[in-house]
């Protein structure tokens, strides 16, 4: 059965590639900013809503396929930390997060013709007390402008952390692979089938 990743994220694509799965990518047909405004106010529910809407937006394009949608929000003191977009905003975010524990809320939606599965992973990450010099040098190095929380944990961003608590390290990069494996199993697909199709 065909797997479709409803995302243009290079990080999510790399996770699936490293997992050995054969899949296609397609940008979800949604207005994400509009969905954020009209969706649930509670952040965990918002990520679940967005992940599902992304996956469902491609059902008419891929009849009979398994569609994978995901969404991630960083949160500190009930404040949503969106992708910074600029160097200045990334520096500002990291200064705000320095020495504190924030949450990465990552939700996954897997939609097939017979079943829909939605799962959420919450990772707690505490950043070290960071100097302004460290923050500015880090942002220049990794350019984490498209990352919720303004860091890339798979690169030098790990050096900013003091501790990480998670049930699924892959969720930090935007796609919880343990939950995805479980969802595929529940849909009757097993890894030997998916690997042998490559």
Q: How far are the Cα atoms of 12, 37, 130, 148 from residue 86, in angstroms, in the given order?
A: 21, 22, 19, 12
Residue 156 CB partners (closer than 8 Å, separation 6+): 138, 141, 142
Residue among 31, 63, 71, 168 flagged as catalytic: 71
- Rounded to the nearest 10 degrees, the angle between the axes of helix 87-97 and helix 132-142 is 130
CB 181 within 8 A of CB 191: yes
Name the strand (E) or helix (H) holding 129.
none
Beta strands in 8-146 (DSSP E): 24-25, 66-76, 79-81, 101-111, 116-127
Among residues 182, 48, 40, which one has the least CA distance to residue 122?
A: 48
Known active-site residue 63: no
Q: How far are the Cα atoms of 102, 122, 185 from residue 76, in angstroms, in the given order?
A: 5, 13, 34
DSSP string, 144-169: -TTSTTS--TTTGGGGGEEEEE-S-G
- Please identify every residue annotated as catalytic: 71
């Amino acid at each position: 059965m065909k797997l479709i990743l409803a995302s243009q994220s290079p990080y999510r694509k790399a996770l699936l590639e490293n997992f050995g799965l054969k899949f296609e990518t397609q940008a979800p047909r949604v207005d994400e900013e509009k969905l954020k405004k009209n969706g649930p106010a509670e952040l965990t529910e918002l990520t679940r809503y967005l992940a599902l809407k992304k996956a469902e937006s491609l059902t008419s394009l891929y009849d009979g396929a398994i569609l994978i949608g995901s969404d991630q929000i960083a949160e500190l003191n009930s404040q949503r930390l969106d992708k910074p977009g600029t160097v200045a905003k990334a520096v500002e975010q990291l200064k705000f997060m320095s020495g504190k524990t924030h949450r990465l809320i990552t939700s996954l939606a897997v939609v097939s013709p017979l079943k829909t599965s939605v799962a959420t992973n919450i990772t707690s990450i505490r950043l070290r007390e960071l100097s302004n010099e460290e923050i500015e040098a880090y942002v220049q190095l990794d350019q984490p402008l498209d990352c919720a929380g303004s860091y890339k944990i798979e690169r030098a961003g790990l050096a900013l952390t003091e501790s990480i608590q998670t049930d699924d390290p892959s969720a930090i990069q935007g796609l919880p692979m343990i939950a995805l494996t479980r969802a595929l199993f529940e849909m009757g697909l097993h890894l030997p089938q998916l690997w042998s199709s490559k």
